[in-house]
Amino acid sequence: MKLRLNSLKEGSQTIEMTLTRSDLAIPDDSFVHPILASLSIYKGTSQITVNGQLKTDVALQCDRCLESFDYNLDVTFQSILSSVKSSDPKTDEDIIPITSKTNEVDLSPFAHDALIIGLPMKNICSETCKGICPGCGVNLNRVRCKCETTEVDDRWKPLENLLTNTPEE
């Protein structure tokens, strides 16, 4: 995802493109759908600001019921290209230095990081997912389990007293 600086005009403009996971060096097989990228670019005299938005559907497997589902991923990133050196070393990591001889800048690392960070930490197909039965292994979203649930762990027995004892006022 290379941005050619010499083809940019002064002011605001938008560039839209379709990318694949190989374009962004994403080894994850869950990115099977194309990635729609929209770049809003503002070119000033000494700085170019790029606001990117990436949209795609990611094929994931639910951590509760183990069923496959598509997750709608919509992430943003921002890159600042500047020919002015910053005096603050903390902001230098967020700014890409450019010179008058810089013809193009690769924005793939920013897009790659935004997509990976945007993935959910826990893959859940729906908030009402019941998961699988730990006893027989059936998907509780589809079938009602016939396992007996009367088995109680004796280590939890003292906690039952908390439910029966009511505080006196």
What are the tens digits of pLDDT across the range 129-143? 999 988 888 888 898
Beta bridge partners of 78: 51
Beta bridge partners of 40: 14, 51
DSSP-derived secondary structure for 139-157: BTTTS----------GGGG
In a domain, 144, yes or no: no
Structural domain boundaries enclosing 72? 2-118
In a domain, 161, yes or no: no
In a domain, 153, yes or no: no
Give the model's pLDDT for residue 137: 84
In a domain, 130, yes or no: no
In a domain, 158, yes or no: no
3-state secondary structure (DSSP) of residue 97: strand
3-state secondary structure (DSSP) of residue 127: coil
Question: Which of 1-10, 79-88, 95-104 is predicted least confidently?
Answer: 79-88
Domain total in the chain:
1
Judging by DSSP bridges, how do beta strands 95-97 and 68-82 pair with one another?
Answer: parallel
In a domain, 46, yes or no: yes
Report how far residue 48's alpha carbon sits from residue 13's, in angstroms, rounded to the nearest whole number: 11
pLDDT at 167 over 70: no
In a domain, 9, yes or no: yes
Neighbours of 54 (CB within 10 A): 23
In a domain, 168, yes or no: no
